[in-house]
Structure 1
Amino acid sequence: MNTDILFKDKVLGHPAGLFVLFFTEMWERFSYYGMRALLVLFLISSITDGGFGWEKAEALSLYGTYTMGVYLTPVFGGLIADKLLGYRWAVILGALIMTLGHAAMAVETPLFLYIGLGCLMVGNGLFKPNMTSIISNMYRNHEGKKDGAYSIFYMGVNAGAFLGIMLCGYIGENYSWSLGFGLAGIFMFLGMLQFYFTQNIFGDIGLSPKKKEELSLEVIGKDGDQDFVDKANEEENTPKNIVIDRLIAVVIFSLFTVFFWAAFEQAGGSMTIFAEEYTQRNLSGGYGTLFKYIDALLTILPLGIISYVLYVLFKKTFAKYALGNIILSASFIVIWGIVIWKVNRDFSKESVEVPATWFGILNSLFIITLAPAFSKWWESKYNISGPMKFGLGLLLLGIGFGFLAMGSGDIITGEPIIKVSMFWLIAAYLFHTMGELCISPVSLSYISKLVPAKWIGFMFGVYYLFIAMGNKLAGTIGSYIEEIEKAYSISAFFLIFTIVPVVAGLIIASLSPVMKKLMHGVK
């Protein structure tokens, strides 16, 4: 298929299909991050408060195992899609399995907890690598726009995370853990329906290998379709040593993502505990009123921006894909209803206790705010190389943890708990987000550029395998938070995550000349 056809109907400078993926991924991330925000807090909450009453080490260890599984299963999901299902049906089946997983978790018994987490791991494995594979194929002949496309897609990822953490976290902490987990499942199901009824917008991208082979025999020779054949021949004729070098570059990038995610994923574990136990979250008087207005603004403004993107997509695609658009619009009507209820409820209270999960939305909020600027940077003449982006991202991540190490310096183990200012967490999330924008969407873009098209799904899966390692390390190291705090201090715990990313960032930045050679002209 000549992918230039997909660029005829543009939304904000990109194919309309990118924004179908944007909203599908948004609802999947809504469900994932909504559940993730609640998991550790639910497990460590006392039985009288509706939780399981687990020890922190147990909860953080399970959290690490779960997040590892979420990124481990895409290795198999990418392979299954490449060889059997095709990207589209893998996405649909994965979304359905994840919906069942959220439903199981809403039951709130140990058995259904493990069943639910298992479903979420398996479903995510089918869903996650194949969404990015569809984008890779859409931009096959538009390599220069890939970095920007992945940054926009990543904005959708974080829009979903923002809404999921805010709403599932709020309902879970204030009303019922079960309702919080259940809400995540509802929007996962709606996201699946929206994708299913709009999938033809991708042409033949993402069809099963057998179906695509049948179509390719029909379209070869038609005007413009030779581009696809030429591209495939070009990849087939690329010298093996260049292919091997580029794959080595992908592995090196992936190795350094382990350092990044091992630190970054403290957000769902130790940083959530820090927010719950060590951060001053009770606000009254003028500070309480100010927070209400800020929180309302932070809630409504991003949702308004995302709703505008929906409106633009609606205008472009409603005529052909009415049902998918109606489902998507209905989802937003429900979201707006919940948001208005939440804001009204908060303003009816005299004082405010900021939910511990609230801080998690900062990462998503900063992504939504900063992603367009970073996207423009990567497309400008001031763009920097991939290794330098990785180095910068790890450095910024380390600085973020430096704020936490500094802010927790006065906390002394064994004495009455000292509550510290929210500033330290806010500053940490800001720098972590800037680091994430330098690494996560850029990684997806570079893999799509460096890997031959026939291996795309599998190599995205391999990349997620390295992220799985980082996530398990995050949970494992995080589970020692109490031991390190007792032996040294909570500040020393966060200092570990300050030093290691900075050192790793300096190493990858110094490897920039070697990486450029391995990449053989890919920028």
Structure 2
Amino acid sequence: MDKKHEMIGHPLGLFILFFTEMWERFSYYGMRVLFVLYLTAELVQGGLGWSRESATMLYGWYTGLVYITPILGGLIADRYLGYKKAIIIGAGLMTLGHIVLAVDAVPAFYAGCVLLILGNGFFKPNISSMVGQLYPEGSPLKDSAYTIFYMGINVGAFLGILLCGYIGETVGWHYGFGLAGVFMFFGLLQFWFAKKFFGVIGEKPTQLTADQQAEVKNEPLTKVDRDRLIVIAVFSFFTIFFWLAFEQAGSSMNLYARDYTDRTLEPGLAADTFKIINTIITLIPLAVLTWLWINMFRKIRNEYALTVASMGVSVVAIWGLAIWMLSRQYSADALEIPASWFQTLNSLFIVLLAPLFSALWVKLSGTKLSPSGPVKFSWGLILVAVGFGALVIGSMSIPAGALTARVSIVWLCFAYLFHTMGELCVSPVGLSYISKLSPKKFVGMMFGIWFGASALANYLGGFMASFMDRISEQSSLSSFFMIFVIATGVAGLLLLLLNRTLRKKMHGIE
């Protein structure tokens, strides 16, 4: 690999995709964090005044559809468009969707959601597919690459939740929705200007060389291919249990943060401590982002000036917004932590822990201590169960049927920490295994199926969250969260039992 076109041992293309995916995730999570809060806010607060049950059901439908359209988007890219064109179409549709969401009208909200759902279908599976194609078959760097890529996802998610959430809750809901679209547009520009950097990677099949076309032609599946597809199916099934629990972050956990958590900080030590902590956790991902951009600038500023220029503008813009937000918080004596802020913890922990997990997978690779894919998945499920266990304990003091309470923020912090560690064992590892186990001609479609499983999980998660009030009234809020402890814990233990069988069907893929 040309040293000029690599960074920290990986192809520079990984970091171009990192920036593109980062701003897409900024837009997605910036909108997602506001979704239920906007729907359930009172009319006088600019919201729609929906019930929590109706809002979480719609949330489930929205996030479910966001993850089911990648099945079709991956198939279209595999057969007709190629990954590059699909990514550009998807980014364009999502930019338009956020522009529509910025309009303060109910029909615009629905129209914007439809555009985001369609755009995500073209974007999401195909950028993940391009990451895998940057590496040769059997490369031990793939797990590490997808973990770094996942870190990019979460830098964007952190900043989107932090800034769109803050602006949406304190300035206006539709300003938050609009801000998400601004940075989605930056992501589109950066990828558009850099598309030639990838050469034939991501091109449609008719533009590939004869040898490359031969690799993706319609040949019968071998027994090894079929066995590996079975493993993908099993992983996809178990990931449903993971995501239906994990995605409570945008629904029941979001409501828990707003209505049941003591978010008021009095002037003095408590408020000052939060200000300092919030400043530090805001500056960490911004520092990572700035360091990456500086290195990209040094390496490709002459060949891809427009790419690094658009990246630079987006970095400066995000710094400006962050400084504005922090200055407003420092000027206030007493503080009420925005309910949306707690979702930044997941992304922050990803940014902090992803390099450690990436280094761990590389160090253990090829040794007897290296955990197999099924074992990593089982760890992820069990860790999510532990996180919900913290919410079970924290909710024990809340009376049955209570609509508000003042529980310590510690329980949410613990939950997000364990959920994040579980996520690092499932999501980036899952992306890597889909890339390694899929027959080449089906890579995009397999990523689509992977996200299809997430679609079902998101819908089920929203459906289950809609029972939050009913279960709380009949039993307790602790009983509601206990459902997720049991579901993910049992699934994790069952997957451990299947480890040996699944490893055999992987036929040497580690």
TM over 0.5: yes
In structure 2, distance between residues paired with 1:197 and 1:516: 42
Does structure 1 retain, via aligned residues, the 8 Å contact 2:385–2:485? yes
Find the counterpart in structure 1 of residue 60 from structure 2.
64
Q: Which residue of 1 aligns with 2:241?
A: 259
The separation in 1 between residues aligned to 2:82 and 2:247, in whole angstroms, is 30
Task: Establish whether residue 51 from structure 1 lines up as the match of residue 25 from structure 2.
Answer: no
**Which of 244, 247, 252 does residue 270 from structure 1 map onto?**
252
Indicate the residue corresponding to 1:246 in structure 2. 228
Q: Name the SS of the counterpart of 1:197 in structure 2.
A: helix
SS across alignment from 2:141: helix
Q: Which residue of 1 aligns with 2:456?
A: 469
| CA offset digits 1:178-220 (Å, max 9, x no partner) | 10000000110111011000111111101122222xxx14xx6
Q: Say yes or no: does 1:104 pair with 2:100.
A: yes
Aligned positions of 1:133-212 closer than 5 A = 133-141=129-137, 143-212=139-208
Alignment partner of 1:496 out of 470, 480, 483:
483
Residue 428 in structure 1 maps to residue 415 in structure 2:
yes
Q: What amino acid maps onto 1:509 in structure 2?
A: L
**Distance in 2 (alpha carbons) for counterparts of 1:409 and 1:433:** 23
Give how far 1:115 is off.
0.7
**Aligned amino acid, residue 407 of structure 1:** G
Corresponding position of 1:299? 282
1:323 aligns with one of 296, 301, 306:
306
8 A contact 2:90–2:123 mirrored in 1: yes
Q: How does 1:356-395 map to 2 (within 5 A)?
A: 356-381=339-364, 382-395=369-382
Aligned residue number for residue 90 of structure 1: 86
Q: Which amino acid in structure 2 is aligned with residue 498 of structure 1?
A: V
CA contact (8 A) 1:398 1:501 kept: yes
Letter in 2 for 1:242: V
- Aligned-residue offset at 1:415: 5.7
Matched, 1:38 2:20: no
Measured at CA, do residues 416 and 237 of structure 1 come closer, stay the same or move farther in structure 2, by a change above 3 Å?
closer
Structure 1 residue 13: Cα displacement: 1.2
Amino acid at match of 2:127: M
Is 2:399 aligned against 1:412? yes
- Name the amino acid aligned to 1:421: S
In structure 1, list runs of 5 or more residues that go unmatched: 221-227
Unaligned residue ranges in structure 2 (runs of 5+): none
Kept in 1, the 8 Å contact 2:54–2:466? The answer is yes
- 1:223-238 equivalent positions in 2, closer than 5 A: 232=215
Asked if 1:346 is matched to 2:329, the reply is yes
How far apart are residue 108 of structure 1 and its match? 2.7
Residues 8 and 15, structure 1, Cα contact 8 Å, conserved in 2: no
C-alpha distance after superposition, 1:371-394 (max 9, x if no partner): 011111111234200010011000
Find the aligned partners of 2:219 and 2:65 in 1 and give their Cα distance: 36
Number of the residue aligned with 2:262:
280
Q: Quick one: which amino acid aligns to residue 281 of structure 1?
A: R
Residue 223 of structure 1: aligned partner: none
TM-score (structure 2 length as normaliser): 0.97
Aligned residue pair count: 505
On the 8 A contact 1:143/1:449 being kept in 2, the answer is no
What is the distance in 1 between the residues matched to 2:430 and 2:308?
Answer: 31
- Alignment RMSD (CA, Å): 1.6
* Post-superposition offset of 1:414: 4.7
Give the Å deviation of 1:413: 2.6
Contact 1:16 1:317 (C-alpha < 8 Å) held by counterparts: no
Give the C-alpha shift of residue 417 in structure 1.
Answer: 3.7
Deviates more, 1:493-502 or 1:408-417: 408-417
State the AA in 2 paired with 1:307: T
Structure 2 CA distance for aligned equivalents of residues 236 and 91 of structure 1: 24
| CA deviation profile, 1:308-362 (whole Å, cap 9, x unmatched) | 0111122111111100110110011111011111111111110110000000000
Amino-acid identity (%): 49
| Counterparts of 2:87 and 2:258, CA distance in 1 | 35
In structure 1, how many angstroms separate the alpha carbons of the residues matched to 2:225 and 2:402?
A: 59
